[in-house]
């Protein structure tokens, strides 16, 4: 197959320039629909635009959660294309594949047809794991989180089974094109009801930790962290939209959980805490299971599972040491753990050649304090029967839970806050060197 030379955009025909813009939008849409934040989308599109020889001063992009807009103008011609992104999910293998594609195309002077074929293959590539494996990963992640919250291994097993039932309900709703927030509601109801009913079948009492951990796989970790990243990088519209989407998912999930609680007649969880009381060995095993399980659910490439599991162990050990040995609040421990993972990932990505998103989000999902949020939920549901002191205590727990979530989000965003500009400058120098060598050969 003859090599198709890529010329400067100023020398392109209208048809060729529109083709280049379509390639850029294909890349952006693929990233947006699979869980990338706006900074990564713009960065990868810009890298591809450099390869396609569209000068930076001639291209303008506008990225929101549902729409991509691209405008190319050379003073004589001006072209604008839009692309809608209505399907949103998380597929970390796709993010890694697109990142590698843009670098490979730039370094290898890849022709346009090959890029188009590669993007099509990435969009159609099968998942790294079978459907049952993904369901089991989500269930094991929730079970591991149950153990981290302070439950026994038997409670973790109950949480795993309940989460599996909830995940199947979620996939069934998605298959039949239910509203995503309705899917979250149904999933929360099914998982919570199963976590309550299973111990009753065995003649046991309510297993509180299983009850609060069985829906953690539903927690919108990626949307919330991407929302914070977009806001920090001044993609305000997209950040606000992602934040609202996060709130709606949590709202749907909360409604389903609340309905299940009312059906089951569960009363109070004021005695349930999340202070780690288990041995560090058990906590490490549970952290590895939780991080690995959620990584499978997010379709992380298989070669990275061991790294993510180790990161999960380190994350949980840092949090527990800060809480138990130094007596500091859980929010500080969670922030420190998330920050260490976020910063360490900047070094690891150069060894395994993968975007840092794959290495920083799955390990921190188990840090989400579901128990504290459940205490607030129970208080709201029983507001007519509880005392003022109990209500104030529940509000304190809720504020503490939200503080911990914000601490985790800010912690993993540390690279974007302090280091991202330097990383982008290093990448720009590499891109400039590649273009200089290519120009010398031409």
Task: Say yes or no to pLDDT of 12 above 80.
Answer: yes
Q: Which of 309-313, 375-379, 394-398 has the lowest mean pLDDT?
A: 375-379
| Mean pLDDT lowest among 153-162, 200-209, 416-425 | 416-425
d(CA 67, CA 73): 20
pTM of the model: 0.87
- Percent of residues, the chain, with pLDDT higher than 90: 37
**Mean pLDDT on 390-404:** 79
Q: What phi, psi does 210 have (nearest 5°)?
A: -65, -35
Question: Quick check: 77 pLDDT over 80?
Answer: yes
Residue position matching structure tokens 């305000």: 236
Residue 258, pLDDT score:
81
Tell whether the model's pLDDT for residue 175 goes beyond 80.
yes
**254 in helix, strand or coil?**
helix
Kindly state the tokens that stand for 99. 């990142």
Measured CA to CA, the distance from residue 42 to residue 31 in angstroms comes to: 10
Q: Over the stretch 342-365, which tens digit does the pLDDT of each residue have?
A: 888 878 887 888 888 888 888 887
**In this structure, how many other beta carbons lie within 10 angstroms of the beta carbon of residue 363?**
31
Contact at 8 Å (CB) between 148 and 290? Answer: yes
pLDDT of residue 2: 43
pLDDT at 1 over 50: no
Q: Where are the domains of the chain?
A: 9-126, 131-422
């Amino acid at each position: 197959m003859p090599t198709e030379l890529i010329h400067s955009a100023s020398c392109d025909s209208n048809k060729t320039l529109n083709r280049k813009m379509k390639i850029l939008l294909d890349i952006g849409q693929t990233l947006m629909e699979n869980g990338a934040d706006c900074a990564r989308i713009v960065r990868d599109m810009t890298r591809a635009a450099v390869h396609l020889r569209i000068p930076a001063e001639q291209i303008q992009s506008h990225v929101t959660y549902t729409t991509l807009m691209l405008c190319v103008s050379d003073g004589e011609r001006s072209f604008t294309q839009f692309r809608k992104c209505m399907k949103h999910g998380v597929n970390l293998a796709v993010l890694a594949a697109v990142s590698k594609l843009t670098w490979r195309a730039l370094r290898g002077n890849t022709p346009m047809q090959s890029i188009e074929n590669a993007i099509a293959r990435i969009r159609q590539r099968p998942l790294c794991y079978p459907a049952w494996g993904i369901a089991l990963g989500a269930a094991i992640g929730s079970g591991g989180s149950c153990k981290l919250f302070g439950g026994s291994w038997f409670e973790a097993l109950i949480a795993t089974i309940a989460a599996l039932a909830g995940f199947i309900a979620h996939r069934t709703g998605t298959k039949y094109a239910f509203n995503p927030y309705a899917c979250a509601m149904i999933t929360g109801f099914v998982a919570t009801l199963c976590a309550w009913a299973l111990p009753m079948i065995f003649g046991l009492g309510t297993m509180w930790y299983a009850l609060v951990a069985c829906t953690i796989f539903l927690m919108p970790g990626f949307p919330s962290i991407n929302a914070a990243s977009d806001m920090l990088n001044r993609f305000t519209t997209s950040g606000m939209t992602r934040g609202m989407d996060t709130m709606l998912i949590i709202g749907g999930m909360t409604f389903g959980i609340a309905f299940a609680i009312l059906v089951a007649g569960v009363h109070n969880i004021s005695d349930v805490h999340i202070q780690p009381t288990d041995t560090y060995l058990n906590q490490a095993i549970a952290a590895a299971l939780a991080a690995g399980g959620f990584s499978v659910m997010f379709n992380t490439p298989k070669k990275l599972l061991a790294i993510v599991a180790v990161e999960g162990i380190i994350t949980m050990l840092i949090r527990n040491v800060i809480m138990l040995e130094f007596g500091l609040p859980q929010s500080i421990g969670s922030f420190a753990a998330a920050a260490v993972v976020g910063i360490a990932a900047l070094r690891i990505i150069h060894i395994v050649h993968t975007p840092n998103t794959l290495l920083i989000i799955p390990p921190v999902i188990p840090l989400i304090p579901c128990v504290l949020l459940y205490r607030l939920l129970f208080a709201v549901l029983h507001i007519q029967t509880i005392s003022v002191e109990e209500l104030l205590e529940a509000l304190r727990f809720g504020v503490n839970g939200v503080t911990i979530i914000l601490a985790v989000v800010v912690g993993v965003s540390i690279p974007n806050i302090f280091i991202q500009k330097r990383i982008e400058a290093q990448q720009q120098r590499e891109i400039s060197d590649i273009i200089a060598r290519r120009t010398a050969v031409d």
